[in-house]
Structure 1
Amino acid sequence: MANTKSAKKRILIAQRNNLQNRFYKSSVKTLTKKFVKNLEIYKISKNSDNRKKVQIILNSIYSLIDKGSKKNVYHKNTAARKKAKLAAQLKVA
């Protein structure tokens, strides 16, 4: 157990950061699964409404990844890699 005031503060900060990191990472994973599912639907139907839905999901994933990168949840290269992978999946469709 922490003895000093600064060590106690560091524990609290670590817990706060852990919650923040978990929020961004789990949200990105969830939206990515939703993106892939809707992308498969779009590949089958080739409907413009489905394309818009996929694009909206992709934009929200980009936003979360960028915010996470800004808060040091993701390294900038990891964020770029994730975004490029998603963009390539959409381009193939």
Structure 2
Amino acid sequence: MAKSGNKMATLLNLILVLSLVLMISIAESRKLGEEAVACDSVYGAEEGDTCESVIQKFQLGADFFLSINPNLNCDNFFVGQWLCTEGTVN
């Protein structure tokens, strides 16, 4: 009878550990407070482009343009860099 008790305790410990790992992985995969961008149209940056010139070219608001391009460094474009010109922020 003692052997079946040990097996049951081992099984319960295994289930507990797996449940804990699952909860941690789910919690870590969520990025709380981070907005999701859905880009519907892109533009490949050309030589000489700046944030201002792209904003004017596509008649966008500066805040909107920067919100749909959250990791954009306006001081360091490179030719061919994809810039979102239409989209939504969730």
Fold-level similarity (TM above 0.5): no
Per the normalisation by structure 2, the TM-score is 0.32
Whose helix proportion is higher, 1 or 2?
A: 1
Per the normalisation by structure 1, the TM-score is 0.32
Max Rg structure: 2
